[in-house]
Amino acid sequence: MTFRRKLLAVFALTVFLSVAGVALLVQLVIRNAFEKTENQRTAALVAQFQREFDRRGDDVARRVEGIAVSEPVSRMATALSGTSADSAEYFDLARLMADNRQLDFLEFLDSRGTIISSAQWPAKFGYPDTTFEISASDDKGHFLKMEELQDSTALGLFAVRSIRVGEHPVYVIGGRRLDRNFLMALDLPADMRALLYQNRGDHFSADQLLDPASTGNAPDATHPADKFAPLVDAVRQYNQEITGIVPWSSDQADEEVFHAIPLRGVGKDHPLLGILLIGNSRRSYVELKRSIRNSALLVGGGGIVLAILLSSWASARVTRPIVQLARAAQDVAGGNWNASVEVEGHDEVGQLAESFNRMTTELLAQKERLVQTERVAAWRELARRLAHELKNPLFPLQLTVENLMRARSQSPEMFDEIFSESSRTLLAEISNLKAIIGRFSEFSKMPQPQLQRVQVNEVVSAVARLFQAQLQAPGREPIACRLELGEHVEPIAADPELLHRALSNLVLNAMDAMPKGGILALRTRRDDGKVVVEVADTGSGLTPEECERIFTPYYTSKQHGTGLGLAIVQSVISDHGGRISVHSEPGKGTTFVIELPRNLEALEAIGASKNAEVTEGNLSR
């Protein structure tokens, strides 16, 4: 990843995290505010229900009071206070009075708690009211009671009043049923609703749930009553108000928060008679949350896009000098020491660019000086070698000429014989001089490689075969030749003759380095798109100084070497775009490593130009 992209990523991440953090914070704040409002609404509703409950209770108490002081009931109480009282004729009075006073439950009880008349269960006359003692204890207010009916029980809001005529009081217990109508009469906000669970039996039963929204006894498929079971069971278990979320579907917007309020009856243990479930839809909250999240995502997304654009601009502005510096450095590394960067500003990057420019200028100057020095040294070496090479044949020439002159003056009879012999010597030395001059001339005339598709393994194998006889020649210690050719070495574009010549020079060098025999290894392998050829011997090896100068023309460590062999090898490899290096340790042998590019593109280019030439030729003809 480039520096610019890194910088861009850091900028974008920073902006994204900032936006996300702000959105999260806003969401948390809003959620807390919403929940607080929700709790306040629920508390208000609970308080409203309690007021409504009390109002209904007071209403029931007023109705019961009205019945208690009514003429028929007073007449009944008076009649029953006598010794020969017969309550039979009043058995239907409760039903009539309940109808008149719009009460769901009404019973008249005598002083022993025996039912005189019952509106809700007329046939129960003469039976004792099981809740008489509890009911009779509350003669002023209202209370909850689970009323037993013929085939069921019903939760109701009751009040009790007593009429005392004579010694024995008559009790009037009246009430209204807490049913769907009661729940529907509650004034609730649009997204809130109230349900009532009548606590009967040991386990949750969907039949005991009164839902004003449900029609008849048909179960509501979208709001199954079983969903309330955990909440109801929790209230029954802990006997306290509990708030819980009831999920109606996988959509969170369908969830409702229910506040479960236990409704207790009167008596010693205050039995749990019912559970009021006040529900509040979470739809508005969830939709608000989703809206905030979507806004946050939108703002965040927009912010990120903006951040990317701004960051891109900023990073481009910041990194442009650095990119220029990097490119200039790459140019320098590639050999272009003239590279320089534009200096903008005087900040650290500007100073860096200025320093870079100074550095490249200094390097260029030093390179010039080094080249000059090397050129002088090369000329000196060339002169030395040339003097040395020329001095060797010149000295016999001088001696021969002096010998001729001496023979003419001192031994004319032997002059012819000496002349003949000296002429042969002179010619031989002159020939030697020609050879020296020819070799120098040949080095200066190294031909350009004629590229073609070459299997390196084949070239190496051919070299090995060529020298096989010399390696095992009699009169010298044998040298074992090992061919270690890579299996997947691909063909390259090269001049096979020059390559053969270069490898032959290296093999000759190796043979010279192993006068006492040894092992010559020729290896090929593929390495990162290149073909590598190694020529290794187990000879005497080279010193580090020799390794440094071994490719310098006319440098040799041999007695009779011209110092051009390895220079030619380097020239050939260099002309192929390759690279040669040497690894050696004294006493352990030397390894030359040649790295050759495949360079098949150049081969295709040559082929294309040839085709073009052929086409042009055909056209011209």
Partner 1 sequence: MRHIAWNWFVASSLLLGALALEAETRPRYGGTLHVTMRAALTSLDPADGSQPDSFARRSVTALLFDTLVSVDESGHVKPALAESWQLARGNQRRQFRLRHGIRFHDGTPLTGEAAASSLRAANPSWVVISEGDSVIIECDSPDPAPLAELALSRNAIVKRDADNKLIGTGAFHVVDWQPGKKLSLAAEEEHWSGRPFLEGIEIEMGRSFRDQMTALELGKAELVEVAPEQTHRVSQAGHSLTSSAPTELLALLFTREASSPEGKLLREALGLSVERGSIRNVLLQGAGQPAASLLPTWISGYGFVFKAEADLPRARQLRDQVRTIPAWTIGYDGSDPLARLLAERVALNAKDAGLSLQPSASASSDVRLVRIPLAASDPWITLQELAAQSGLPAMKSKSGPTEDLYAAEQAELATGRLIPLFHLPASYTSSSGLRNWALRIDGSWDVANAWLESAKP
Residues that bind partner 1 (CB under 8 A): 86-89, 91, 121-127, 150-151
**CB-wise, 3 or 127, nearer to partner 1?**
127
Q: How far is the CB of 125 from partner 1 (least distance, A)?
A: 5
**CB-wise, 83 or 150, nearer to partner 1?**
150
Q: How far is the CB of 262 from partner 1 (least distance, A)?
A: 31
Q: How far is the CB of 148 from partner 1 (least distance, A)?
A: 11
Inter-residue contact 121 to 173 (CB < 8 Å): no
Angle (CA) 583-585-590 rounded to 5° is 50
**CB-wise, 207 or 347, nearer to partner 1?**
207
Inter-residue contact 443 to 382 (CB < 8 Å): no
Q: How far is the CB of 119 from partner 1 (least distance, A)?
A: 12
Q: How far is the CB of 155 from partner 1 (least distance, A)?
A: 21
Residue recorded with tokens 């007695």: 559
**CB-wise, 87 or 400, nearer to partner 1?**
87
Q: How far is the CB of 162 from partner 1 (least distance, A)?
A: 23
Q: How far is the CB of 89 from partner 1 (least distance, A)?
A: 7
**CB-wise, 117 or 562, nearer to partner 1?**
117
**CB-wise, 53 or 125, nearer to partner 1?**
125
Residue recorded with tokens 């023309």: 553
> Checking DSSP bridges between strand 242-246 and strand 153-164, what pairing results, if any?
unpaired
Q: How far is the CB of 31 from partner 1 (least distance, A)?
A: 54
**CB-wise, 120 or 311, nearer to partner 1?**
120
Q: How far is the CB of 87 from partner 1 (least distance, A)?
A: 8
**CB-wise, 125 or 551, nearer to partner 1?**
125
Q: Cα Rg for the chain, rounded, in angstroms? A: 59
Q: Is 275 exposed, middle or buried (0-12, 13-18, 19+ CB in 10 A)?
A: buried
- Measured CA to CA, the distance from residue 107 to residue 115 in angstroms comes to 7
Inter-residue contact 261 to 276 (CB < 8 Å): yes
**CB-wise, 114 or 461, nearer to partner 1?**
114
**CB-wise, 128 or 345, nearer to partner 1?**
128
Beta partners for 523? Answer: 484, 534
Q: Is 353 exposed, middle or buried (0-12, 13-18, 19+ CB in 10 A)?
A: buried
Residue 387 CB coordination number (10 Å): 11
Q: How far is the CB of 122 from partner 1 (least distance, A)?
A: 6
**CB-wise, 95 or 523, nearer to partner 1?**
95
**CB-wise, 87 or 324, nearer to partner 1?**
87
The 3-class SS string of 535-598 reads EEECCCCCCHHHHHHCCCCCCCCCCCCCCCHHHHHHHHHHHCCCEEEEEEECCCEEEEEEEEEC
Q: How far is the CB of 207 from partner 1 (least distance, A)?
A: 17
**CB-wise, 34 or 121, nearer to partner 1?**
121
DSSP state of 246: E
- Measured CA to CA, the distance from residue 142 to residue 267 in angstroms comes to 13
Q: How far is the CB of 86 from partner 1 (least distance, A)?
A: 7
Inter-residue contact 248 to 228 (CB < 8 Å): no
Residues 6+ apart with CB under 8 A from 533: 456, 460, 503, 522, 523, 524, 593, 594, 596
Q: How far is the CB of 151 from partner 1 (least distance, A)?
A: 7
Residues 6+ apart with CB under 8 A from 3: 319, 322, 323
Residue recorded with tokens 């060098």: 509
- Measured CA to CA, the distance from residue 289 to residue 301 in angstroms comes to 18
- Measured CA to CA, the distance from residue 207 to residue 581 in angstroms comes to 96
- Measured CA to CA, the distance from residue 209 to residue 187 in angstroms comes to 20
Nearest to 128 by CA among 116, 146, 136, 139: 116
Inter-residue contact 113 to 136 (CB < 8 Å): yes
Residue 333 CB coordination number (10 Å): 10
Residue recorded with tokens 């039963």: 205
